[in-house]
Structure 1
Amino acid sequence: MLAVNVQESNTSLAVGLRVVRRDGSVTDFDPNKIRVATTKAFLAVEGDSATGSQRIHELVDTLTEQVVAALSRRQPANGSIHIEDIQDQVELALMRGEHHKVARAYVLYRAERARERAAAQPQKQAEPQIHVTLDDGSRKALDVRALAQAVHEACAGLDDVEPRLIVEDTLRNLYDGVPEKELGQALIMCARPLIEREPNYSEVCARLLLRELRSEALGFVFNEHRAASQAEMEAAYTDYFQAYIRCGVDLELLDPRLLEFDLERLGQALDGKRDLQFGYLGLQTLYDRYFQHWEDTRFELPQAFFMRVAMGLALNEIDREARAVEFYELLSSFDFMSSTPTLFNAGTLRPQLSSCYLTTVPDDLSGIYGSIRDNALLSKFAGGLGNDWTRVRALGAHIKGTNGKSQGVVPFLKVANDTAVAVNQGGKRKGAVCAYLETWHLDIEEFLELRKNTGDDRRRTHDMNTANWIPDLFMERVRDEAEWTLFSPEEAPELHDLYGKAFAEKYREYEALADAGKIRNFKRVGAVDLWRKMLGLLFETGHPWLTFKDPCNLRSPQQHCGVVHSSNLCTEITLNTSDQEIAVCNLGSVNLVRHLTDDGLDQDKLARTVRTAMRMLDNVIDINYYSVPASRNANLRHRPVGLGIMGFQDALYALGIAYGSEQAVAFADRSMELVSYHAIWASTELAEERGAYSTFQGSLWSQGILPLDSLELLADSRGGALELDRSATLDWDSLRERVRRGMRNSNCLAIAPTATIANITGVSQSIEPTYQNLYVKSNLSGEFTIVNPALARELKALGLWDEVMVNDLKYYDGSVQPIERIPADLKARYRQAFELDPRWLVEAAARRQKWLDQSQSLNLYMSEPSGPKLDALYRLAWERGLKTTYYLRTMGRTHVEKSTVTDGQLNAVPMAPQACSIDDPDCEACQ
């Protein structure tokens, strides 16, 4: 039975894969042939005793599955692979499993067969002629010169790449009768494995993909077979762009108002040379998930994509063309990138451009299911969701209408979980939601266990993210090793809307009522015991995340007109919610690396970028499609936006700074101060032009209290206990006076994860440290070998980048620390995420937090977690005044893909960890 199951699994993995034989013929891939060959190798070494046969049978099944999985990862559906490559993978699987004697027997067998073939054919045979099958079924001889020319064009201007390697490997993998449409993909598949040897092959792959995209898009738009070189496309972009817009409108994919723009003027503004900026992962991601398509045919080219987004954001501008060009310049240069929903939907018939939605769920059946319905509608068009469930009564609470007892919050969370799975955002990315519950809720202990893999599955939510919403009073009770009381919210209703000193006072009153017997449904636990359980489940399941209620509220500019009841899916948004308002935030990120000079950050350029970016984000609010009225109400009243950053780690590399250092903490402080200063300034300028947001009066802004100043409010609530550097370098007094006169946006700043948009622009994600210097990244677009280009550049300069170094990096899972010939200063600067002391991440985040009116998506990495270490780390986060934390990453078993370099030796490419249910390994829920 095991053999049947493995065979079925392997077959499903390798559907459509074809094998090119040595004589040039092609056959369907058959996993059973791998099983037979591997079994023979084992039998030749170990014999065929009854006990041994059973063991061999099981080993062969496992090895066959590994080989087929590796082949499937390296080839697309309906692709082809040479028989020698399959045999190479078998060798590597045997070596990986440490079956060295069997591997040696297999190698000798291959060598003997090669000699036999040579003896049988002493005369060198002419290479078989390869013919290409055209779409109409006719055949023509393969034009090898044209194939080579395409590869040479893709390699032009790039150092350390060899077109010959790609051409030779491609010819070896082609077969007579290969469909013409597979030629381009074959080139890409043969170039892709070279990325791990030389990062510049990523750009080669991108250019080869661009060649295919040009042919696909031009053919569709002009309704005729067309291909164009890079130079030809640069000249043809203007004509193509006008035809593309008309085509998109005719297909009812694009907003007809785009036809009202001066399309010729906009087409002339497109810079075709910027197509060459992409790496392979970035362009493949755009191709798979962002470009406009009709029945799986992509007809949107990169510069048209950026201009379409720019036009969609300029629809309401007076001089639309000038603003569209301004926005296009920012996007296409990679200086700034809008969030994924904006990139998906700007300029379309359903411009759902906002990133995050926050709701609070009422404590009645109609309200609960209304909130779940809202989740579905908001998720449909790519919104990330954060739900506050604290008001829903706990298990065992009395239900007046039926005179029964409540089943608590967990069954409703199960429904919300399944709704998120069902609504997958049009197939572009998975729907996702995060549920928040305050730490005093009587169901909190069950809530902590929602992501466990054991227990009653009806009370588990395997696809939903969860987060604790922790008041300062609980952390104080943990510090003092005191008791903590859990309440059902219908018996302690005021706690939900209180924070700081007012919460603490009311909480003690409810405890007194419970002691007096006036509250029946409550429970006493040790605060330290509950804290330990929170940390234990966080380590075990990755959830619930730890977020802090009081810093989010006490530092909120909008505390005069509501309460922050939760954060969002990625923990960077902190906005008020109520039954009448679903909070909405609109996100985008500044690329720090694009604003560096030899002297550091270019403040003038950064100011210009931020000014335009804030205008783009503010425009989202008026253009956005609102599927739920309560979200429109909140967004138009308060106009919050969230400008963030990405490429922080890359900026440190460029500046020669190690992430785990005081210099990195200082750079985090300085860079965020600059972005914050210019974002707030830009919002005051927008207020002068367009008017202040409607609830400005009474806000902290109207009182001249800026994010830096609001630290004092938090410190006062904590009795002065807030350990944080509060220094500043810019002229905040002048800005404070401007702010008092009016702000366009209630909130301006939030740092989102940026996983996908960082991939598009080819920089490190958000504020993340480098995960590994060499690994395989897996997302909805496939698997991609990622090499740290900054490390490769520095090692090249030292004459240390070669195949031996690549193999060493694979052997050590991307780490440079064990490689003796690497200088100590490089080892310090190229520490991987799990090699950093996580306290540096908290210290850098704390410096950023003082400049943010919202929060940041902060992942924490710990290689050797323990209870005391987790306790110290998360207490430090609270003590430093952080508002939220995100994923806790812990070192687990490394998953590897075996691959080869030219010497055919075994080497392992680590796989990136899986994370948020939205998309990739470093959650892109909002981006």
Structure 2
Amino acid sequence: MKVIKRSGRREELDISKIRIVIDFACAGLDVDPLELEMDAQIQFRDNITTREIQQLLIRTAAEKVSPETPDWTYVAARLLLYDLYKDVGHLRGYKVKDKINGKYRPYNPESFYHLIKTYTDRGIYGGYLLENYTKEEIDQLAQYIKPERDLLFNYTGIKVLSDRYLVRDEEGRIIELPQEMYMLIAMTLGIAEKKEERLEWVKKFYDVLSQHYVSLATPTMMNARRTHTQLSSCFVLTVDDDLYDIFDNVQKAAQISKFAGGLGIYLGKIRATGAPIRKFRGASSGVLPVVKIINDVMVYVDQLGMRKGSASITLDIWHKDVLDFLEVKTNVGDERKKAHDIHPAVAIPDLFMERVRRREKWTLMDPYYCKKVKDGKNLEDFYGKEFEEVYLRLEKELPPYAKREVDAWELWKRLLTVIFETGEPYIFFRDTANYLNPNKHCGMVYSSNLCMEIIQNMSVTTHEEDILEEDGRITHRKRSGDVVVCNLGSINLGLVYTAEDLAKVMPVLVRMLDNVISINFYAIKEAEYTNKRYRAIGIGVSNYHYCLVKNGIQWESEEHIKFADALFERIAYYAIKASCDLAKERGKYPLFDGSDWSKGIFFGRTPEENQQESVKNGNHLDWIGLAKEVKEHGLRNGYLLAVMPTGSTSLIIGATASVDPIFAKFYKEENMSGILPQVPPEIKKYFWHYKSAYHIDQEWSIRAAAARQKWIDQSQSFNLYIDPEKIDGPTLSHLYQLAHQLGLKTVYYCRSKSITDIEECESCST
């Protein structure tokens, strides 16, 4: 049988060469190499290419993955890596085998500087790498790269990484290897460090990334080292009831989406259908046309053809257009009012939940008639008791054409029906979010981001004047509002969860995320203004379910609730401590004074209350001492903790996603990289300990989320998992009401076995 080599030369098939590759892939794993050889060989044919042989081996190994034989995923990964090593070596002009001693050497440190220089000159890597690092420093970092860490990847991990994250040249060929990618990301983030300390920090950044202790958000992983360092994940816009501002925000949304940012957009200030325009009653088309415009912009600005733009749009439950808004993604009704490519979200105050509980009436209002109702503020500018006071007054005083009375329970049922059918809208409990906002001294929160984990101050941008110069130049002046920016990273709880480990890893992650803010490319200036005032970051987690399982904890147990409470207390403590230590070195964030942090109030509790909680948890952390330290030195970052979805990057590091339970003990994930076999970490060892999402009583998930929320200053991308055949309306209502009662700020998707087209946000994925 003849084979065709990569060079195009034909030669006899040499099984011994194939065995060398198979032996490399199977070394140290619980698999039979002969089984792979025999099963793959059946599919060989005359004139098969060596590349096809390699692909056959990879596919055959991947098809063998099961809960009983999970190690085949590492065999497939090594085979794919072998292919990658040869391709990159061929492209860059070096051999992966040493000609003198025949030893296998996939990485060539001597070529690292040449890689950076070549592709900087070609405009693929950013020029800042060579501007900030000498050849000697790059050579030193090249020698520090640890090729053996590639063996940490499973098949899905290396497949997703190579298909979507590793940088390619103009012809679509991969130019860098996984460990080089991690080093280049570390070098990019290290630019914010002092010159004399830079290399040491780069090595620390590389270590936590390459050992999978932490993950960074998809935009950071993709864009660090590229020409445009747009490293932030998600942005939240606040749209004013003004035509100029509406279309200014449409433009902002397009620019943000162009650079792969996800969007949250609050439209609650826009007047309802039939509201006056320049005192002509009945003239306004309401919110729905704006929703459709944003929908079309997200489809049009498709992020270099990789995927559509993504935006969630939030409206208040009291907005007069809310009933039409609930139907934007359903398959019934007027198609002219549909927007199938955005993600609706509803902001709900405590008062509405109270009316639902009491089966009382609820009044929908037109924001046009709710302006400057108290102290120059609009109705939506209040929360809690103040909101309730103003709302009750308007309920009585507004003329009939400015409001509409509905049954609160019927509106709630309609909301839940749409959630049951489509998995959305997302839910934002606005009063809880604002009560616990540590920066309420300088703003408020109207909505969350695309994935419902970011809770930060928001405000509109005001447009002042256009100035016409004599030479025809027109300058538009505006005063920036707060455009929320999310800078995300996550801790791998499968490897890092003890106090000792968190104390080591957290300062490195906080520093990396703070550096993102310093070196970031901003698609719009308002984002830069807000990011530098608050220096907000969002630290989340992955591998939560695996962490429970390896500690012998069942999901549906009181032990789980206690474990979650104690674990997230440790995460919070070391995150705050790391940000405080960074503030000592770099200064506190500009708006620190007057914040809850500055008063020693963390998560709405006094230092003494947090100390008591810590004793109950068994952590015995010094919250009183930490509060004193924060009061004295400040915090570097105005927001710290946010549990985001970790879809893509969980796949890369072989972790269970975010704080979600596993989907199944074995399934095939279908995404841009094809059909990928999935088994949870150490499934063979812990097969009976894992319980899949749709078999879990969701009350336990809500209770665990509430225990975590106690220690999170922002929110969580918290999903509910329901089986349509086993759930009814009252049960679903109970779950959402329980989420509100227990203090959750947001609920993300309601995932159902019958809904197969739910999109995972890649922007927030870490």
Q: CA deviation at 1:728?
A: 7.4
| In the alignment, structure 1 residue 390 sits paired with structure 2 residue 250 | no
Aligned to 2:529: 633
| In the alignment, structure 1 residue 594 sits paired with structure 2 residue 464 | no
Q: Partner of 1:466: helix, strand, or coil?
A: strand
Residues 736-789 of structure 1 show CA distances to partners (whole Å, capped at 9, x for unaligned) of: 111212111110100001111111111111101111111111111111121234
1:177-192 matches, within 5 Å, as 177-192=47-62
| In the alignment, structure 1 residue 624 sits paired with structure 2 residue 520 | yes
Distance 1:465 1:594 in 2: 34
Amino acid at match of 1:394: A
Aligned to 1:150: 21
Aligned to 1:63: none
1:790-869 matches, within 5 Å, as 790-794=682-686, 826=688, 829-863=689-723, 864-869=726-731
Q: Is the 8 A contact 1:290 1:344 kept in 2?
A: yes
Structure 1 stretch displaced more, 491-500 or 612-621: 491-500
Q: CA deviation at 1:457?
A: 1.9
Amino acid at match of 1:268: Q
Aligned to 2:139: 264
Aligned to 1:414: 292
Distance 2:104 2:251 in 1: 46
Amino acid at match of 2:495: R
Change over 3 Å in CA distance of 1:216–1:710 after alignment to 2: farther
Aligned to 1:457: 335
Distance 1:917 1:688 in 2: 38
Q: CA deviation at 1:140?
A: 1.7
Gap regions ≥5 residues in structure 2: 372-377, 462-480, 610-615
Amino acid at match of 1:886: Y
Instruction: Give the TM-score normalised by structure 2.
Output: 0.91
Amino acid at match of 2:70: P
Distance 1:729 1:862 in 2: 37
| In the alignment, structure 1 residue 321 sits paired with structure 2 residue 173 | no
| In the alignment, structure 1 residue 668 sits paired with structure 2 residue 568 | no
| In the alignment, structure 1 residue 784 sits paired with structure 2 residue 676 | yes
Amino acid at match of 2:413: R
Instruction: Give the TM-score normalised by structure 1.
Output: 0.75
Distance 1:135 1:180 in 2: 7
Q: CA deviation at 1:135?
A: 5.1
Q: CA deviation at 1:296?
A: 1.4
Q: Is the 8 A contact 2:109 2:139 kept in 1?
A: yes
Distance 2:553 2:617 in 1: 22
Amino acid at match of 1:849: Q
Q: Is the 8 A contact 1:676 1:852 kept in 2?
A: yes
| In the alignment, structure 1 residue 503 sits paired with structure 2 residue 503 | no
Distance 2:369 2:502 in 1: 51
Residues 648-691 of structure 1 show CA distances to partners (whole Å, capped at 9, x for unaligned) of: 10011111111111111111111100010000011111111111
| In the alignment, structure 1 residue 737 sits paired with structure 2 residue 628 | yes
Q: CA deviation at 1:373?
A: 1.4
Distance 2:751 2:606 in 1: 31
Residues 177-215 of structure 1 show CA distances to partners (whole Å, capped at 9, x for unaligned) of: 223332221211121110125110100111000011111
Change over 3 Å in CA distance of 1:887–1:233 after alignment to 2: farther
Aligned to 2:467: none
Segments of 4+ in structure 1 off by > 6 A? 228-231, 710-713, 725-728
Q: CA deviation at 1:406?
A: 1.2
Distance 2:628 2:126 in 1: 41
1:176-255 matches, within 5 Å, as 176-196=46-66, 198-222=69-93, 236-255=107-126
Residues 531-560 of structure 1 show CA distances to partners (whole Å, capped at 9, x for unaligned) of: 111111110111111210011111101111
Q: Is the 8 A contact 1:468 1:544 kept in 2?
A: yes
Distance 2:565 2:111 in 1: 45
Name which of 727, 730, 748 aligns with 1:886. Answer: 748
Amino acid at match of 1:541: T
Amino acid at match of 2:340: H
Structure 1 stretch displaced more, 504-513 or 426-435: 426-435
More helix by share: 1
Name which of 351, 368, 393 aligns with 2:229. Answer: 351
Change over 3 Å in CA distance of 1:565–1:695 after alignment to 2: same
Distance 2:385 2:329 in 1: 33
Q: CA deviation at 1:240?
A: 3.2
Q: Partner of 2:721: helix, strand, or coil?
A: strand
Residues 476-506 of structure 1 show CA distances to partners (whole Å, capped at 9, x for unaligned) of: 1112221111011111131111101110011
Distance 1:401 1:685 in 2: 56
Q: CA deviation at 1:410?
A: 0.9
Name which of 133, 153, 163 aligns with 1:288. Answer: 163
Q: CA deviation at 1:626?
A: 0.2
State the percentage of identical aligned residues. 38
Q: Partner of 1:284: helix, strand, or coil?
A: helix
Q: Partner of 1:771: helix, strand, or coil?
A: coil
Q: Partner of 1:288: helix, strand, or coil?
A: helix
Q: CA deviation at 1:397?
A: 1.1
Q: Is the 8 A contact 2:550 2:686 kept in 1?
A: no
Distance 1:619 1:147 in 2: 46
| In the alignment, structure 1 residue 604 sits paired with structure 2 residue 518 | no
Change over 3 Å in CA distance of 1:288–1:710 after alignment to 2: farther
Change over 3 Å in CA distance of 1:330–1:529 after alignment to 2: same
Q: Partner of 1:275: helix, strand, or coil?
A: helix
Higher RCO, Cα 8 Å, sep 6+: 2
Distance 1:404 1:834 in 2: 47
RMSD: 2.2
Residues 608-631 of structure 1 show CA distances to partners (whole Å, capped at 9, x for unaligned) of: 100110000111101110010110
Residues 309-347 of structure 1 show CA distances to partners (whole Å, capped at 9, x for unaligned) of: 101101121121111101000100101111111101112
Q: Is the 8 A contact 2:535 2:638 kept in 1?
A: yes
Distance 2:683 2:715 in 1: 31
Distance 1:643 1:918 in 2: 17
Aligned to 2:259: 381
Aligned to 2:352: 474
Q: Partner of 2:676: helix, strand, or coil?
A: strand
Aligned to 1:3: none
Residues 508-536 of structure 1 show CA distances to partners (whole Å, capped at 9, x for unaligned) of: 1111212xx3x632100111111111111
Distance 1:184 1:235 in 2: 16
Name which of 576, 581, 584 aligns with 1:685. Answer: 581
Distance 1:397 1:710 in 2: 46
Distance 1:306 1:683 in 2: 24
Change over 3 Å in CA distance of 1:468–1:726 after alignment to 2: farther
Change over 3 Å in CA distance of 1:365–1:513 after alignment to 2: same
Gap regions ≥5 residues in structure 1: 1-128, 596-600, 714-724, 796-825, 894-912
Distance 1:232 1:709 in 2: 60
Residues 626-649 of structure 1 show CA distances to partners (whole Å, capped at 9, x for unaligned) of: 010110010001100001111110
Distance 1:858 1:358 in 2: 19
Amino acid at match of 2:81: L
Q: Is the 8 A contact 2:234 2:485 kept in 1?
A: yes
Q: Is the 8 A contact 2:568 2:708 kept in 1?
A: yes
Q: CA deviation at 1:231?
A: 9.9
Aligned to 2:368: 490
Q: CA deviation at 1:398?
A: 1.2
Distance 1:676 1:763 in 2: 21
Q: Is the 8 A contact 1:542 1:887 kept in 2?
A: yes
Name which of 300, 306, 322 aligns with 2:182. Answer: 306
Q: Is the 8 A contact 1:708 1:851 kept in 2?
A: no
Q: CA deviation at 1:278?
A: 0.3
Q: CA deviation at 1:794?
A: 4.2
Amino acid at match of 2:483: I
Q: CA deviation at 1:247?
A: 2.6
Q: CA deviation at 1:891?
A: 3.0
Distance 1:555 1:495 in 2: 20
Distance 1:612 1:690 in 2: 15
Q: Partner of 2:64: helix, strand, or coil?
A: helix
Amino acid at match of 1:217: V
Distance 1:155 1:451 in 2: 48
